[in-house]
Amino acid sequence: MTVTRSVVLGCGSYLPERILTNAELAAKVDTSDEWIVQRTGIKQRHIAAEGEFTSHLAIKAAQAALDDAGIDAQSIDLIVLATSTPDNTFPATAVAVQAALGIHHGAAFDLQAVCSGFVFAVATADNFLRGGSFKRALVIGAETFSRILDWNDRGTCVLFGDGAGAIVLEAQQGWGTSVDHGVLTTHLRSDGRHKSKLYVDGGPSSTGTVGHLRMEGREVFKHAVGMITGVIIDAFEASGTTPKDIDWFVPHQANKRIIDASAHKLHLAPEKVVLTVDRHGNTSAASIPLALDTAVKDGRIKKGNLVLLEAMGGGFTWGSALVRW
Ligand code: ACO
């Protein structure tokens, strides 16, 4: 054993009870189930209840991940929570999770990379664990995008939903090869020249308000497949793996057309792609851990499987992570 790896001990997720269907949206704005399904693959999304905050979703997902791992919250010494919809401007939503779990040691902080947040959070936790600063990390993606949507803008309000997912990572020793369990590679990218293509038109320092999500959908779509496939090719090259080695492709769930095009370009078979966008919509940083938990709980992802994660979102930010479960 020569290297430290961040090995997945368990995962969990939580979705708010309320389901909002395309038909309900069509009664509020000028859209249709047919348009939404054809352009995005989304059929429904979950919406947080009044008084239900991002932290509440995150705490439930985190507790489920701890239960799945069969470990006590007290053994967690790092919490990295990816969100663009924190409970408050500060303190970090991660400390609300930490307090609710009764953890008074270690560190907890939020990370903001919009839809790429979970991949950025996995990479961050992985680096801390491999560097020896912490031993066990909770990595969470949690969002209440329903709170920053302009519900009169049919171009955006049909796309997003609320939810949370989490994984537990532990520092373990590996051999330094691609047969190791745990996070094998992470690749992160940003290009701020695109910052106005997908943004929120408010904030504490600019308007003093929370603001609403604004997006040039076609521009996002135009860049998405190239950026996603580029950073996945980086993961293959760094790990000495090929698309044939991938057991499960768990992409950020923004749009079925983006996912299909990326998988096709990479020669990843459709039956290896985990899709939840139809039921969850785009839950931003929560979408990957929600999809992971879905595929673990229904028996698709098994111990030893090679799982490829990718995301792209506002900034633009994008990234990939290759994980042996
Ligand atoms: N219902 C009906 N019509 C609509 C709707 C709607 N909900 N929204 C837009 N339209 C109309 C437009 O007004 C336009 O009408 P017009 O031709 O009369 O002007 C027409 O549909 C086409 O609009 P486009 O925006 O060009 O439609 P497009 O085919 O590009 O689909 C979409 C829009 C689904 C947003 C697409 O661009 C997309 O998926 N982009 C990627 C965005 C994304 O996934 N963002 C998520 C965050 S980033 C990430 O996570 C990767």
- Report pLDDT digits (tens) over 248-262: 999 999 999 999 999
**Closest by CA position to 321, among listed 123, 82, 65, 80:** 123
Residue 173 backbone phi and psi in degrees, to 5:
-90, 140
**Positions marked catalytic:** 115, 252, 282
What separation in Å is there between the alpha carbon of 53 and the centre of ligand 1? 28
Does residue 309 have its Cβ closer than 6 Å to ligand 1? no
Structural element, H or E, at residue 68: helix 54-69
pLDDT at 21: 98
Quote the pLDDT of residue 251.
98
> Which whole number is the average pLDDT over 223-235?
97
Residue recorded with tokens 């939020």: 110
Q: Is the CB of 158 under 6 A from ligand 1?
A: yes
| Domain positions in the chain | 3-174, 182-324
Q: Residue 309's closest CA among 281, 285, 286, 288?
A: 288
Domains 3-174 and 182-324 share a fold: yes
pLDDT score at 1: 67
Label residue 305 exposed, middle or buried (CB < 10 Å: 0-12, 13-18, 19+): middle
Q: Determine the Cα–Cα distance for residues 35 and 273; give it in Å rounded to an integer.
A: 23
**The listed CATH number (3.30.420.40, 3.40.47.10, 3.50.50.60, 3.40.50.300) that belongs to domain 3-174:** 3.40.47.10
CA of 197 to the centre of ligand 1 (A): 13
pLDDT tens-digit map of 256-298? 999 999 999 999 999 999 999 999 999 999 999 999 999 999 9
Counting atoms of ligand 1 from 1, which one is nearest the CA of 312?
51
Q: In the prediction, which pLDDT does 28 show?
A: 95
Whether ligand 1 lies within 6 angstroms of the CB of 33 is answered as no
Ligand 1 near 221 CB (within 6 A): yes
CA distances from 317 to 164, 190, 246, 306 (A): 20, 4, 23, 24
Asked whether the predicted pLDDT for residue 203 surpasses 90, the reply is: yes
Structure tokens at 36: 């939404």
Over residues 20-36, mean pLDDT: 98
Cis peptide before 128, with omega less than 30 degrees from 0?
no
CATH of domain 182-324: 3.40.47.10
Atom from ligand 1 closest to the CA of residue 32:
1
Residue 26 clears pLDDT 80, i.e. is over it: yes
Residue 174: per-residue pLDDT = 97
What local confidence, expressed as pLDDT, does residue 253 receive?
A: 98
33 Cα to the center of ligand 1, angstroms: 14
Examine the pLDDT at 216 and tell me if it is beyond 80: yes
Nearest-angstrom CA–CA distance, 274 and 161: 18
- Two tokens, residue 314: 């506002």
Q: How far apart are CA 10 and CA 305, in angstroms?
A: 14
Q: Is the shortest distance between the CB of 31 and ligand 1 below 6 Å?
A: yes
d(Cα 90, Cα 80) in Å, to the nearest integer? 15
Question: What integer pLDDT is reported at residue 183 of this predicted model?
Answer: 98
CA–centroid distance, 41 to ligand 1, in Å, is: 12
Mean pLDDT of the chain: 98
Tokens at 107, concatenated = 């560190």
The mean per-residue pLDDT over the stretch 229-243 comes to 97
Average pLDDT of the segment spanning 289-308: 98
- Quote the tokens at residue 75: 């053994």
Does residue 190's CB lie within 6 angstroms of at least one atom of ligand 1?
no
pLDDT in tens, 73-102: 999 999 999 999 999 999 999 999 999 999
Report whether pLDDT(4) > 70. yes
Which residue has its alpha carbon closest to ligand 1 atom 48? Answer: 313
